[in-house]
Chain A
Amino acid sequence: MATLRLEIVTPEARVFSADVENVALPGVDGELGIYPLHVPLMTQINCGELVIRQNGKNRHLAVGEGFVEITGDHVAVLTDMAIDADLIDEAKVEKARREAEVRLNQQLSDEEIAVTEASMAHATTQLEIKRRRQVS
């Protein structure tokens, strides 16, 4: 069976690099399910949940905004954040979110606002995914 080589890279590290069966991405225009032999595509993703299907098992990741390059046998995801849903520390993220909230109310330069908003979005995404997974 054909597989996809999935690669997820963040500024901190190469998070994931392996062959997978398919992957679901939070695209800007809605969720994208990518299977092998997809048409070459270049697109953007939003903060959200990325689901990897590997060896018949699903793996969930929280990802930030970013870009995706898709060829028939290769998916490269370039994103600000990628964290395994099972590794999300709810208390820590909640704290980070509150800190970001506080910071946003202060006088900040444009650059700082952009960065703080991004970390806020990251935290919110992580929390959403974590909570959704706990319910299901």
Chain B
Amino acid sequence: MPSTRDIRRRIKSVKNTAQITKAMQMVASAKMRKAQMAALAGRPYVDLMNKMLAAATASAGEFTHPLMEQRPIAKRAVILVSTDKGLCGGLNTNLLREAGRFDAKETVFLTAGRKGDQWTGRAKRTVAERFTYHDNPRFTDALAICKKAAELFSSGEVDQVDVVFTNFISTLNQKPVVRQLLPIVELKPLSADLKVESTESHLAVSEYQFEPSATDVLGNLLPKYVSYQVYQVLLEAKASEHSARMVAMKNATDNAKQLIKDLTLEYNKIRQANITKELLEITSAAMAMGS
């Protein structure tokens, strides 16, 4: 049976842990609110851009753009958007499981976030370039990633670029997803399965005029489309990360509290047992002396 001193020591250590997880929970929940708002605010923009592009490409006729070129896929690049730090539950584990499905030989990775980067080392994957992104993702972060991805794609080094990230659904629910970024074929927003307040359907019009010309408008719109998709992905990933961390830390704090309760109970039981034992010893000693 553990001594009361051992249990006291354990209670103290669990209390310390609970304090830390509680603090992390507070920090994460503050960051989470900001990140969630940023992710949600970005959705209508990407959504509308998507619709425009779909309508435009449909009526542009014979228009082709280097970023839309479809080739047989011999090699592909994957942009892996993970977190920099751990302690966010199963977020990265789930994400990396998706990433692990790509064939190791045919795939090069562009990593954003340290956890994914470390994984490429462990899983022996090829990394084309490593990127970092800020806690409040900046547009420049997305631009840098896009530049490299477009470069790989246009030079023919890879024939498809996918992006693997954690889509933010709600505070309690984030889902790792794989979406095709290049070539631009199906014009679906990366965060498609989410309910975005729908802009009125105006896709019925079949023929658009372009000013100055279809090539100009689409030529400008496509690269922008790609970089905003990536930007939105970064926002979604951050919102997911902070939400997951908040929940993980809340669970940890709750568990620690329960543990403290259990340990305190045990501590009191042992303390009482000790007192009873001592009393017994005293009384039996007294009885032995008296007789």
Q: Which A residues lie at the B interface, using CB under 8 A?
A: 5, 7, 9-14, 27-29, 39-44, 67, 69, 71-74, 76, 78, 109-112, 114-115
Contact B44 A14 (CB under 8 A): yes
Contact A42 B140 (CB under 8 A): no
**Also in contact, A7 and B216, with CB within 8 A (given A69-B55, A78-B49, A111-B140):** no
| A5 CA / B205 CA spacing, docked (Å) | 15
Q: What is the 8 Å Cβ interface bit string for chain B, positions 32-45, against chain A (1 contact, 0 not)? A: 00000000011011
Chain B residues with CB below 8 A from A40, complex form: 59, 205, 207-209
A44 to chain B, nearest CB (A): 6
For A110, give the chain B residue with the smallest CB separation.
Answer: B147
Closest 7 pairs (CB-CB, A-B): A111-B143, A43-B211, A74-B202, A40-B205, A42-B208, A111-B140, A40-B208
Chain B residues with CB below 8 A from A76, complex form: 48, 51-52, 199, 202
Contact A115 B208 (CB under 8 A): no
Contact B200 A5 (CB under 8 A): yes
Q: Which B residues lie at the A interface, using CB under 8 A?
A: 41-42, 44-45, 48-49, 51-52, 55-56, 59, 138-140, 143-144, 147, 197, 199-200, 202, 205, 207-212, 214, 216-217, 220-221, 228, 231
Given contacts A67-B220, A76-B48, A115-B140, 5 further A-B contacts (CB under 8 A): A9-B44, A13-B41, A42-B52, A69-B208, A111-B140
For A116, give the chain B residue with the smallest CB separation.
Answer: B140
| A117 CA / B182 CA spacing, docked (Å) | 27
| A110 CA / B217 CA spacing, docked (Å) | 23
Main secondary structure of the interface of B (DSSP, over half): helix
For B201, give the chain A residue with the smallest CB separation.
Answer: A74
| A40 CA / B140 CA spacing, docked (Å) | 33
Contact B48 A9 (CB under 8 A): yes
Contact A41 B41 (CB under 8 A): no
Contact A111 B199 (CB under 8 A): no
**Also in contact, A42 and B48, with CB within 8 A (given A67-B217, A111-B140):** no
Contact B210 A42 (CB under 8 A): yes
Chain B residues with CB below 8 A from A41, complex form: 208-211
Contact B231 A44 (CB under 8 A): no
Contact A115 B143 (CB under 8 A): yes
Contact A10 B45 (CB under 8 A): yes
Chain A residues with CB below 8 A from B210, complex form: 41-43
Chain B residues with CB below 8 A from A9, complex form: 44-45, 48
Contact A67 B208 (CB under 8 A): no
Chain A residues with CB below 8 A from B51, complex form: 69, 76
Contact A78 B52 (CB under 8 A): yes
Contact A67 B205 (CB under 8 A): no
B96 to chain A, nearest CB (A): 27
A120 to chain B, nearest CB (A): 15
Contact B202 A67 (CB under 8 A): no
Partner of A44, one of B202, B208, B216: B216
